[in-house]
Structure 1
């Protein structure tokens, strides 16, 4: 009787062990699954951190800022950065796509002064992030497929045509005039000692696009 009782007591214990192991296995599986599923979330977080760090450092130090500095600023290893972006140019193109979103919103505005505001926004972006223009120049130099020039030309053409139809822009002004004026603006920004001086010179010399039919005075910082 006693032996039978002990046997009965031991039997449930043995039977419960597989159940316990199965429960533990399921919990372990859920934990492993949770760790596995964090991969995409971590990758997305890293990408956002890289883009934010790149925007800050491009603005502060220019297009040639070392990628190692961007990785440190983002709090990730340089290898992680290269898994997301193959080159500095790839990274810059993605960072500055936000600039185009701003310009597109300004160009789409049907207000009569939209072209003037688009122009001033373009100048402000150039002062704030000269690396934006350096990136476009680098893309041309490397003959990389990049539609930035075409996108900008389309936006300016749309806003300029609307402004000329409304009588708020010189009818003699052309798309090429505007783009040449913008390149002049970049020259001022690139050679000015600081952003404040660049803004002063731009306001003084390029308050709005200059028609090519008029003589263009040489632009030199501090002149």
Structure 2
């Protein structure tokens, strides 16, 4: 007697949500890599090819260029927030995470330069919110007495070597902007090397350069 499979046995496992989440993650990772080499105006078709999906899949997740750039930025900022909130990560460690994202993501650098070539992104409310979240995360883990939060006075030797800002509270983000402006080069390794050199010139200690994996 032939046994027929039950309806549950005939029905394949529903991998829709899992596959969709995997495709989205692959697209964000591919976009970061493509942007790092070709900038924010890179063809979306190249991002889809790098992620191993069709353009239709890309557009289901990201209807336009700004949407996928914002997704890359969201991941950049989220990792910095998570590192800053982790009690086991020092401020130098958080700067290591920041430096990794600077070396890997042209979109992240664009977020930190309101008047730069990527100012188009900053016009969006979501990008402005991400920029503010990034600053709050860094300020929230800045140790008391750190040179990036200390007043700029001749009597404060720990602040020597840091260009004076109009407002001492601006020192932190001014330093980040200066370092991000130095992040150039054809490969992530080149960009990381230049970023670390810039931090050294500012006299700032940076931890291991790596993404945050909490």
**TM-score, normalised to structure 1's length?**
0.63
Deviation at 1:104, TM superposition (A): 2.1
Is the partner of 1:154 in helix, strand or coil?
helix
Contact 1:188 1:198 in 2 (8 A): yes
Is the partner of 1:64 in helix, strand or coil?
coil
Deviation at 1:30, TM superposition (A): 5.1
Using a 3 Å threshold, how does the CA distance of structure 1 residues 46 and 122 change in structure 2: closer, same or farther?
closer
2:151 counterpart (141, 166, 172):
172
Is the partner of 2:183 in helix, strand or coil?
helix
Contact 2:33 2:105 in 1 (8 A): no
Give distance in 1, aligned partners of 2:180 and 2:104. Answer: 11
Contact 1:156 1:175 in 2 (8 A): no
Q: Does 1:145 align with 2:126?
A: yes
Contact 2:183 2:192 in 1 (8 A): no
Aligned to 2:202: 206
Residue deviations 1:14-47 (CA, integer Å, cap 9, x gap): xx9xxx7xx75x657853x427x34334323322
Q: Does 1:70 align with 2:50?
A: no
Contact 2:182 2:198 in 1 (8 A): yes
Is the partner of 1:76 in helix, strand or coil?
coil
Deviation at 1:186, TM superposition (A): 2.1
Using a 3 Å threshold, how does the CA distance of structure 1 residues 29 and 144 change in structure 2: closer, same or farther?
same
Give distance in 2, aligned partners of 1:144 and 1:101. Answer: 17
Contact 1:103 1:122 in 2 (8 A): yes
Deviation at 1:204, TM superposition (A): 4.8
Using a 3 Å threshold, how does the CA distance of structure 1 residues 73 and 179 change in structure 2: closer, same or farther?
same
Give distance in 1, aligned partners of 2:8 and 2:34. Answer: 42
Give distance in 1, aligned partners of 2:169 and 2:98. Answer: 14
Q: Does 1:58 align with 2:29?
A: no
* More off after superposition, 115-124 vs 174-183: 115-124
Provide the aligned C-alpha RMSD in A: 3.3
Which protein has the bigger helix share? 1
Using a 3 Å threshold, how does the CA distance of structure 1 residues 128 and 38 change in structure 2: closer, same or farther?
closer
Unaligned runs of 5+ in 1: 1-15, 210-223
Give distance in 2, aligned partners of 1:201 and 1:189. Answer: 10
Deviation at 1:62, TM superposition (A): 2.8
Contact 1:62 1:130 in 2 (8 A): yes
Larger Rg: 1
